[in-house]
Amino acid sequence: MTEIAADRNVLALTCPSRVIFARIGDRWTMFIVLALADRTMRFTELKNSIGPVAPKVLTETLRALEDDGLVARDSFPDSPPRVEYSLTDLGRSLLEPIAAMRAWAERHVPEVLASRERALD
Amino acid sequence: MTEIAADRNVLALTCPSRVIFARIGDRWTMFIVLALADRTMRFTELKNSIGPVAPKVLTETLRALEDDGLVARDSFPDSPPRVEYSLTDLGRSLLEPIAAMRAWAERHVPEVLASRERALD
DNA sequence: CTGAATCCGAAAGGATACTG
DNA sequence: CAGTATCCTTTCGGATTCAG
C-alpha cells in the first residue's frame, strides 16, 4: 500500500515534466526568468523590459513564480515603494535546461516556422 | 531597411524560444512526443497511452505537430483504416533538450511542489 | 511606484454523439 | 479505426481604472 498505483505511468498528470513545462509554457514566465537571469529588477523595470504585459498579469505570474520558489520578492519600506524581484537558487538552476531548449530553438525554429507556413496552403 | 527594428530584443514575441516553449507547454504535446519517442503509434493506441484526452483535442494537437514538421502522419488505405504517427527527424532532435528539462524536473519539481503547497497558507 | 479591482473577449480544453 | 461535428465550461490574457 506504500506503492501508489497512479504513479506507475510516467505520463501521469502529476508528472514532474508536465508541471515544469506548463509553468514555463505560459505567456510571460520565460521572459521574466530570462530578464532576471542577469540581475535583480523592480516591478516597472521588469514590465518595461519584457513587453506589453498588463500589470495584473505580471503580478499574477510573479506570484506564481514566487509560490513555486523560483523567484524571490523583496520589498523595502521606502517612499515611493520599492520592490525587487530576483531568481532564487532554484530559479537560477533552471537556466541550464532553458539554455539547452533555447539553443535548439535558435537552430531549428526557423524550420518549424517554414513548415508551419507551408501547412497554410 | 533590411534590419528589422522589432528584432533587436531577444524577448520579442517572435522569439524562437517563445515559439517552442508555447508549443511544448500545451496540454498534451509533450506526452505525445514522449510516447512517439520509442516507436510509431496509431491514433487509438496513442490515445490510450497518454491519458484521458478527447479525440478532438488529440486530433488538433497532432495536426499542429504535423504542421510544425515535428510529427509525420502516414495513412494506409486499409479497412478498417490504419493511420500511423511518428516523430520526424526534427521531432527526434527535440528529444535532447526535452531530456535536459525532464532531468531538471525529476530532480527539482518536488521542491517546487513543496514550495507551492507552503504558499497555500 | 507597486500593485489591486473589475470587466471583458478569446481561446483552450473537454464531453458527447456521430460518420466513412 | 480514425476521426468530425457540436456544444459547453473554464482558463488565460488583456484593458482600464483606482488606491496605498
Beta partners for residue A87, in sequence order: A71
Whole-angstrom distance, CA of residue B35 vs CA of residue A117: 26
Q: How far is the CA of B94 from the C1' of C8 (A)?
A: 38
Q: What percent of chain A has pLDDT over 90?
A: 81
Is the Cα torsion angle A52, A58, A90, A77 positive or negative in sign? positive
B90 with A111: Cβ contact below 8 A:
yes
Q: What percent of chain A has pLDDT over 70?
A: 88
Parse chain B into domains and list their residue ranges.
Answer: 3-120
Model confidence at A2, pLDDT cuts 50, 70, 90, reads very low
Please tell me the total number of residues recorded for chain A in this structure.
121
pLDDT in the model for residue A9:
45
Cβ neighbors of A91 (< 8 A, separation 6 or more) are A33, A36, A65, A69, A70, A71, A72
Q: How far is the CA of A63 from the C1' of D17 (A)?
A: 22
CA distance B107 to chain A (A): 9
Answer whether A106 touches B (CB < 8 Å). Answer: yes
B10 with A34: Cβ contact below 8 A:
yes
B20 with A106: Cβ contact below 8 A:
no
pLDDT in the model for residue B96:
97
CATH code at A3-120: 1.10.10.10
The set of cell numbers assigned to B3 is 534590419
pLDDT in the model for residue B110:
94
pLDDT in the model for residue A7:
39
A16 with B110: Cβ contact below 8 A:
yes
Q: How far is the CA of B28 from the C1' of C4 (A)?
A: 34
Mind listing the pLDDT tens digit of every residue in chain B (121 residues)? Answer: 333 333 334 455 568 988 999 999 999 999 999 999 999 999 999 999 998 999 999 999 999 999 999 999 999 998 899 999 999 999 999 999 999 999 999 999 999 999 999 998 7
Helix pair B29-38, B16-25: axis angle to 10 deg: 80
pLDDT in the model for residue B15:
84
Q: Which residue's C-alpha is at the least distance from the C1' of D16?
A: A54
Cβ neighbors of B91 (< 8 A, separation 6 or more) are B33, B36, B65, B69, B70, B71, B72
Q: What is the pLDDT of residues A19-67, one digit of tens each?
A: 999 999 999 999 999 999 999 999 999 999 998 999 999 999 999 999 9
